[in-house]
Each structure stands twice: as structure tokens, then as C-alpha cells.
Amino acid sequence: MRTRMVAGNWKMNKTLQEGVELANQLKNDVKNPNCEVVIGTPFIHLATVAELVKGSAVKVAAENCADKDKGAYTGEVSAAMVASTGAEYCILGHSERRAYYHEDYEILKNKVELALANGLKVIFCIGEVKEERLENKQNEVVKAQLEGSVFHLSAEQWAQITLAYEPVWAIGTGLTATPEQAQEIHAFIRGLVAEKYGKQVADDTTILYGGSCNEKNAAELFACPDIDGGLIGGASLIAEKFEAIIAAR
């Protein structure tokens, strides 16, 4: 049985104090979830929030890590540093990092390897932009993203990977993929994993949907057989909404 998961991605929101308040509320409210619950926080929150939620049902993710091991890279945060905070996960390949910070397949490959080498589990994001969807190229886009950055991993390393399919046109736009659209491409992605690692591994791989998933549409999306949970941006910033999405899983 694969892990079901609801993961939040706070992005560049919340001061440290606001983040602690939100994490505290989640820790107190989320007692026996049906799924793994993860919150992705800015780097500066990680140590405090990881300590705060220790022993609770809530796990912590970084939203990024450096593509270099260590050294003279002013302003960067390494995977080892992330792991030293108590964070268990690292979100990599988010479309905002690909688009605004020019993270290409090779950079992401390095980041994934460093995250895994430092004991972090990776939530790896893939997904097409609007023009690619309009040209019906979504399948080839996600295939290239997987082949470019994660399909070189061993089966043992793959066990630490959670995939998040996030159509870029649905992120932060209020335009959610329909359950049919999402299920179709999730099944395609699982098929790619099966071709690469075998059916059992594919069956055990967690594939999240992300893109304007909220407390109103989560249940319908999560009911699809190949959608194992969600990566949640905007709705993860409000405890009640995030908790309703967790309850829907």
C-alpha cells in the first residue's frame, strides 16, 4: 500500500512568528490523520518548526536546497543544512523554481541526489505550462522532466521519492485540473514509473496532485485511483482549510 499524503507549500509567505503559530495550530488539531501530513516552510522556519512539531503527526519539508554540497555559495542552503534542522522532506522541481530561478534538469538532478544523500525524502514536482497543455504535449513534458532529473535513480533511491503532478496553469490561478484530466495524467505517470522500475514500485509510488487544490475540490480529486493526495499552496496557509483537505484524504 502506498503512502497517502497531504503536503503544504507555504512558499515565501509567513514571518517566523506567523509560521510558528500556524504550525502550532496544525500540531494541536491534526491528531490521527489518514495520511502523511507535511508542511513545506521557508528555510528560516525549518529548525523552529521541526522542533515544535517533533513527535506529532506533522512532518516538515524544505521548499528547496542547493545544487552544491558545501562551500563558497553565498546565500545558499545545502541539503545537509536542511537535514540538520530536523526536516524530513525537501520539495524540488517546483515550477516556480524552474521558471524564476532557471532550475533545469541537470541542476535538479544534482539537488535530488544531494537531498537523498543527506537522508531527505524528496517531493519532486513535474507539470506542463498552459501552452503545452493546449498543444496536448503534457505527457511528453512530464516524461522529459522525469527522465531529465530522477529516472537515473536506483530503485532503492526511488523509494524516497514522492511525485507531485502540478499543471503550471493551475497553480495559484483557481483553475484546477478536472478529476478526469488529473487522473488521466497520473495514470500515465504511474505507467512511466512501471516501465522504468516495474509494476510493484509504480504501485508503491505516491503521486500527489497540486494546482488550486482546496477544501472544496480535494475530495473529488483524491477519489481518483491514481491521485494519492495533494501538494497544496494557497490553501495550506490557513489552518482550517489545510485541515479540511487533510480530512478529505
Residues 152-171: x where in contact with ligand PEP by CB under 6 A, - otherwise, as a string: --------------x----x
Binding-residue total with ligand PEP (CB under 6 A) = 13
What is the helix (H) or strand (E) element at residue 92, kind and residue range? strand 89-92
Going by C-beta distance under 8 Å and a sequence separation of 6 or more, which residues neighbour residue 119? 83
Marked catalytic residue, from 63, 94, 96, 132: 94
What are the distances in angstroms from CA 215 to CA 19, 33, 47, 120, 239? Answer: 20, 15, 28, 28, 11
Going by C-beta distance under 8 Å and a sequence separation of 6 or more, which residues neighbour residue 242? 6, 8, 26, 232, 235, 236
Q: Does 185 bind ligand PEP (CB under 6 A)?
A: no
* Cβ nearer to ligand PEP, comparing 189 with 197: 189
What is the helix (H) or strand (E) element at residue 191, kind and residue range? helix 179-197
- Of 22-30, 47-55, 130-138, 232-240, which segment contacts ligand PEP by CB under 6 A? 232-240
Q: Does 234 bind ligand PEP (CB under 6 A)?
A: yes
* Cβ nearer to ligand PEP, comparing 36 with 166: 166
Q: Does 231 bind ligand PEP (CB under 6 A)?
A: yes
Q: Does 122 bind ligand PEP (CB under 6 A)?
A: no
* Phi then psi dihedrals of residue 52, to 5 deg: -60, -40
Enumerate binding residues for ligand PEP (CB under 6 A): 9, 166, 171-172, 210-213, 231-235
- Please identify every residue annotated as catalytic: 94, 166
